[in-house]
Amino acid sequence: MKKTVSLKENHLFRRAYHRGKTAADSRLALYARRNGQRGSRLGLTVSTKLGHAVVRNRVRRRLREIYRLNEDRLSAGWDVVVVARVRAASSDYHQLERSFLKLADKLSLLKKDGGP
């Protein structure tokens, strides 16, 4: 099992926002940029618009778990920033997971099945 490093520094988030590829839907916005490393890094942004701390932390926990469970399906070497939109607070886990995978596929982050 891989261990993804968290993005914590503001300049790394800004680099992903300004120079990365973008895909969005009503629940999430995904920004992805190659990082030149062997592993991927994950950053989460959850605004106070979503609700109180309990709601924001629940959304963060769900997004981290979605990433962790699908990490083997994602290509390595990317900085991925997930921005939760207001509808993410009222979405259940499976809706968020479908949204994340759809956006990751749109950005070509999912590995291609190469056959045998």
State pTM to two decimals: 0.91
Counting as low any pLDDT under 50, the low residues of the chain are 115-116
Other CB atoms closer than 10 Å to residue 1's CB: what's the count? 5
CA 78, chain centre distance (Å): 11
Closest C-alpha to 88, from 73, 76, 78, 98: 98
Give the Cα separation of 76 and 73 in Å (integer): 9
What confidence tens digit (pLDDT) does each residue in 41-51 have?
999 999 999 99
Q: What is the DSSP letter of 75?
A: P
The residue to which tokens 């509808």 are assigned: 87
What confidence tens digit (pLDDT) does each residue in 90-99 have?
999 999 999 9
CA 80, chain centre distance (Å): 5
